[in-house]
Structure 1
Amino acid sequence: MCGVGLILSSPEGFKIFQAIRFEFPLTNNEAEYEALLAGMELARSLEAKHLRAFSDSMLVVKHFSREYEQRDPRIKAYAIKVEDSSLSFDTFELSQIGRQNNGRADALSRLALAETQNLTGSIYLTEAKMPSIEKKECLEIRQGSDWMTPLWNFLEKGILPPDRREALKIKYRASSYMIINGRMYRRSVSQPLLRCLNPEEQRQALEAVHEGICGEHLAGRSLAFKILPQGFFWPNVKADSVEYAKKCVQCQLFATVPKQPPEEMTSVLSPIPFIVWAVDIVGILPTSTKQTKYCIIAIDYMTKWVEARPLSTITEEAAKKFFLEQIILRFGIPKTCISDNETQFIGNKFRKFLHYFGIE
């Protein structure tokens, strides 16, 4: 395992520091080429048009100027890739710099092999899984449709949906978007242009920000507010962030469980189980077997245990039988029976029944 470092600097003095850790074996010259290609790719992703590159490897510089001949097949492949990448810029220069003047890049290469927690927030660390010359170039093909398709069709080809209301909506929304080099961006009032993401890129952005190398396993809204300043956008970013955070396994296993109850705590109405019961009758219900279309229910005030029985008729005898068989014989004689004073619970027979057992 080895590492390289690169520094990208703008004419105004803005600098980006990047350390790259390679998880495959390579020689010193190949590492120099990898650093150069990574810097060119970073500059191209920032829409740079003019690039001046400096390297302390005389071999890399002489290969690019064709003063030296490339004999090793891998080095030759690296040199060809550098030439192809240089065509992405309007102007590109590669110059040699002395090792004594390249101390910061050398320090970054050593930091690439350090532990992640030792890196400061101003240094970006990336890991390379395979050599650049082995990566297959692929064209981006827009297949299917997503939320960007109607906007893309209007901005690029002037095509609008046939429905007049939808067409007006697309026209209104399109004023906030623009296409640059085959990418759609959204204009923002207080931020730079935000790159619009398709569904696959949305998933990658959520994964990288939530649980990536610098991920903090943020909750839904915080996750969305961290994605937007990174320069990415899609319409449902807040809702998708909330759903993604809910499905994170690590968050479910190790997140702090809130101890605060969801509502204000209330006193327990009954300190002893099966002492206070509330009874009521539900109906009329759809007629079932044995012509039952009512239901008598009793709930214990402390445990919230429910007892229920279907009834075909609602009489005092039925209420008496239910209370005897499913309350008294199963849980003992309660102290209090609470009802809404329906006829079945305030008649003489039911009152005498409760008085016989000493139930209020």
Structure 2
Amino acid sequence: MFFDGAANHRGCGAGVLFITPEGLCMPMSFRLGFDCTNNMVEYEACVLGLKTTISIGVKKLEVYGDSSIVIFKVQGRWKTKDEKLKPYQEYIEALVEHFTEINFDYFPRDSNRFADALATLASMMDFGPGETIQPFVVDQRDSPSHEESINVLTVDGRPWYAKIVDFIKEGRYPADATHGEKRFLRRYATQFVLHEDILYKRSYDGIQLVCVDEEQAQTVLDQVHQGICGPHMNAHMLAKKILRLGYYWNTMEVDCAEYVRKCHKCQIFANLIHVPPTEVSM
């Protein structure tokens, strides 16, 4: 069991993380609706964790905390002199009697970040009496969000222009295509040229634009917008420059807008808007 407490200007909270011998993690957060000192919230977190383990019948427990006051006093290395903490100390000693084996160990704060995050989250939340917050999922993302705007270019593992290539080469329609979709595909395919298995888009100025897939489109966006000599232009200029360079995909304008909107450097160095969000009343 890992425990930690948090006290700030928004309130107080306690966080407890239980890890079973099988490796199953069970996090719990408690919002404390009364004033507490920093040491009191640490005791509250420890007590709440012990009471929870007792309620589910745990008899052997390893307790870890980053509060040297709580850990060392429970171990008997330090004496409790603060009158506010003596009731907590006595209560913990009574709870310890419910276990056949229990150990308290000091854990550095950097290694107790999960419980610390739970306690801080509980202290910052505002909700009424009797209300609870349902469990939530923390997902890990391994790539920037702006890359997702191009994911629509890949459908069932095939690039967006696969249907056009199939129609030009074999005159074949998708298996589930309706009559209207077939008619649209026939008209849309007239804007493309297939040469040596490379699909080109006809442009109004006569330039043949190479149709790119998802990975290639992401590379083009990165290099044109923020690559070597990349001027970090706006979305409209970015799309126009990509067309002038001879590249095309069907969601280019939307992807350029999303890419520029989520570019970190563009947000930092963008011009400040001094116009108030609402009209100023005189």
Report the TM-score when normalising by structure 1.
0.33
The higher-RCO structure (CA 8 Å, 6+ apart) is: 2
Larger Rg: 1
